[in-house]
Amino acid sequence: MTGVLPPESGMVLCAGLGTRMRPITDHLPKPLVPVAGRALLDHTLDRLALAKLARVVINLHYKGEMIRRHLQGRSDLAITFSEEPVLLDTGGGVLQALPELGEFFYVVNADVFWLDGLIPALTRLARGFAPERMDGLLLLARTSSAVGYEGPGDLFIDPLGALRRRGEREIAPHLFAGIQLLHRRLFEGLAPGTFSLNRLYDRALGEGRLEGIVHDGSWYHVGTPEGLAATEARLSFQGVER
């Protein structure tokens, strides 16, 4: 434990176009694609509710009104929306929502699905976050066991949690799981606009202020129709309730 209080706020990134999930997303935003009988977004919000967050920000662009309507009946979280008439990418989207977020906060991609180990992944991130030495803590998944993923991975991690990006011809044992805990300090001095969180990761890596922990449950890559099919097949085999 670091001694810091658990985060009170979080953000779910829902503004993407979902192009890799076509044709499913031609008529449905990716956060509402069903997995195990429920929308991806609902699975994520369930986990944020269990973490007892006071508020959650959801950014909207593609078919945002469908997401608004879908969440109208949800009362277990205080949800606010951050509209993006022009897509701001991951970094710009979080920066725009920063006034609604706390000193440190979760950011979760809307297209990830995971099952927790003995301790929920969000709890592990909160317990591992040390703001005196880090501006961000990423959850990593093992490339060898990530369901529906066949890429070369993203990152190497040493025993102390320090990260290194994969080189051009390397294969990395871990990938970013789309779940993270960030400090608002990471965004200091940035002007509003369109930019990726990767830009901020690179700066924090260079300063030694970005670390990671490895997920101890299962993680599913559902960013494509093939990944979705592999996820559903594995969950059905495991007997996960729908």
Tens of pLDDT along 140-181?
A: 999 988 888 888 888 998 888 889 898 888 899 999 999 999
According to the model, what pLDDT value does residue 227 have?
85
Q: How many helices (H) and strands (E) does the chain have?
A: 6, 13
Residue range 212-231: mean pLDDT, rounded: 89
Instruction: Report pLDDT digits (tens) over 83-119.
Output: 999 999 999 999 999 999 999 999 999 888 999 999 9
Q: In terms of residues, how long is the chain?
A: 242
214: pLDDT strictly greater than 50: yes
According to the model, what pLDDT value does residue 230 have?
83
Share of the chain above pLDDT 90, in %: 65
What value does the CA radius of gyration of the chain take, rounded to a whole number of Å?
Answer: 17
Cα three-residue angle 128-202-2, rounded to 5 degrees: 15
Residue range 42-58: mean pLDDT, rounded: 94
According to the model, what pLDDT value does residue 190 have?
94
According to the model, what pLDDT value does residue 238 have?
59
Pairing of strands 34-35, 38-39: antiparallel
Residues near 23 by beta carbon (within 8 Å), at least 6 away in sequence: 225
Cα three-residue angle 128-111-38, rounded to 5 degrees: 105
List the domains of the chain with CATH numbers.
9-238 (3.90.550.10)
Query: Which of 124, 120, 152 has its CA nearest to residue 137?
Result: 124
Which of 25-34, 117-126, 227-236 shows the lowest per-residue confidence on average (mean pLDDT)? 227-236
Residue with tokens 């599913």: 220
Q: Please provide the average confidence, as pLDDT, over all residues in the chain.
A: 90
Instruction: Report pLDDT digits (tens) over 10-47.
Output: 999 999 888 888 888 888 999 999 998 899 999 999 99
Tokens of 202: 């690179």
According to the model, what pLDDT value does residue 1 have?
43
Residue range 113-141: mean pLDDT, rounded: 94
Name residue 14's amino acid: C
Query: Which of 116, 106, 100, 205 has its CA nearest to residue 158?
Result: 205
